[in-house]
Amino acid sequence: MIATLPEALATAVEAEVAEHDPAAIRTAAAALSEAYRGQSTIACTLSPVERAAYLAVRFPSTFASAAAVWSELANVCDLSHVRTALDVGAGPGTASLAAYSVLPNATFSLFERDSGWRQTAAKLATALEIESTFRVGALPGALTPHDIVVSAYALNELAEPERAKAIAALWPAARVALIVLEPGTPKGFAVCEMARTQALAAGAHAAAPCTHNDRCPMTTDDWCHRPVRVARSAIHRAAKLGSLAHEDEKFSYIVLTRDPPRRTAPARIVRKPIRNTGHVHIDLCNAGGLQRTTVTRRDKANYRGARDAEWGGVWPPDQTGG
């Protein structure tokens, strides 16, 4: 399945990008891509052309990964009564926009240190008919409680002491759930693991991707992440000088809930399944740690599910979720 932006949102993004010179956007896009690969740091405040480049080449991927995580939250948590959400390090409101189909009745509070995103965030929210407010500033020690708190691609930009302080502020503000979403790198995973450890110590439940509250068996040498396939628009391909119609965005995340989640399955698939003639190898994480299971054609009850199993999904497949 290939993720795409909603039509109204794609149109709004194209309008923002069209205001800038294509060559300047390509240069800025290359620098942003290098930063997201961990080769350099991302500035706290972006220039107008850098923001346009982000919309062209990074926004579709971060939107897709955030949408995937919102779906995971909906699988494990009743969201029917959720009315407020706080998006910390919001940028143009990517994580909030990605929740448009999961939280149709919610009001979003966007918290961002780069004031340059304010107008863009308002335009994109209008495109999806989302009610939101935008506040500029550094993360305070205490936050106003909201039903859901989300931090997407933001905590990795902080030094470790500041990151721990930020997590200590985020969890108390989440009445229902906290989402932390980061790039699918060892550093991104380490950020999610830090959030998991701190929140569990404060009484949280690890709802997704974890299927348990036990110690995480994965490390930065073998880290927890998953992909989402994202369609490349014409402006995306032009900004990257690429010809492929899609790209894979890899991300790490953790969903933490106040109440015990609906456990949809005992295990999570943590790598791409290895399909061979007559059997499938599936690498799993569960309460017992990491393990590989092999499903053969003789196992008629599970073989079809194994052939269709996807990295990041739950196992076994005949249970809801994933």
d(CA 253, CA 149): 13
Residues 280, 281, 282, 286, CA torsion sign: positive
Question: Which residues are within 8 A (CB) of 5 and not within 5 positions of it... i.e. 6 or more apart?
Answer: 13, 60, 63, 233
| Total-model pTM | 0.94
d(CA 3, CA 256): 25
d(CA 132, CA 97): 10
Q: Tell me how far the alpha carbon of residue 216 is from its chain's centroid.
A: 19
Give me the DSSP letters along 136-185. ESPPPSS---EEEEEEES-GGGS-HHHHHHHHHHHHHHEEEEEEEEEESS
Q: How many helices (H) and strands (E) does the chain have?
A: 10, 14
Reference 259, options 204, 210, 190; nearest CA is 204
| Domains (range + CATH), the chain | 2-257 (3.40.50.150), 267-315 (no CATH)
d(CA 14, CA 52): 9
DSSP state of 80: T
d(CA 156, CA 255): 17
Q: Hey, is 269 helix, strand or coil? A: strand
Residues 221, 225, 226, 231, CA torsion sign: negative
Q: Given this model, what pLDDT does residue 320 score?
A: 44
Backbone angles phi, psi at 38, to 5 degrees: 90, 15
Q: Given this model, what pLDDT does residue 268 score?
A: 98
Distances (CA, A) of 171 to 9, 56, 95, 145, 151: 30, 32, 17, 9, 11
d(CA 105, CA 49): 33
Judge contact between 90 and 150, C-beta under 8 A. no
pLDDT tens for each residue of the chain, 322 residues long: 899 999 999 999 999 999 999 999 999 998 888 777 665 566 678 999 999 999 999 999 999 999 999 999 999 999 999 999 999 999 999 999 999 999 999 999 999 999 999 999 999 999 999 999 999 987 777 899 999 999 999 999 899 999 999 999 999 999 999 999 999 999 999 999 999 999 999 999 999 999 999 999 999 899 999 999 999 988 888 887 777 889 999 999 999 999 999 998 999 999 999 999 999 999 999 999 999 999 999 999 899 999 999 999 999 975 444 4
Question: Which residues are within 8 A (CB) of 264 and not within 5 positions of it... i.e. 6 or more apart?
Answer: 75, 76, 211, 314, 319, 320, 321, 322
